[in-house]
Amino acid sequence: MSVRHLHQADLARRWNISPRTLERWRWLGQGPRFLKIGGRVAYRLEDIEAYEAAQLRTSSSAVSDARNAA
């Protein structure tokens, strides 16, 4: 079984955002799940895709189920 990982710079390019945004999200406990191994951060592709799926909206006023449950 092969698990694909992306580093912070790879994910930042994928989403066209700043790597610092990902750093801030980790500090705030937001964004996709991540691994920290030996001081390096990696994101599993399956966690990235799950996070992306959770962000799908049908309108700009739609709120995710996680927010509705809070």
Q: How does pLDDT run across 22-68, given as a tens digit for each residue? A: 999 999 999 999 999 999 999 999 999 999 999 998 888 866 555 55
Dmax over CA atoms of the chain, in Å, equals 41
Residue 21's identity, in one-letter code, is T
Residue 19 three-state SS: helix
The whole-number pLDDT of residue 69 equals: 53
Instruction: State how far the Cα of 51 lies from the Cα of 5, in Å rounded to an integer.
Output: 14
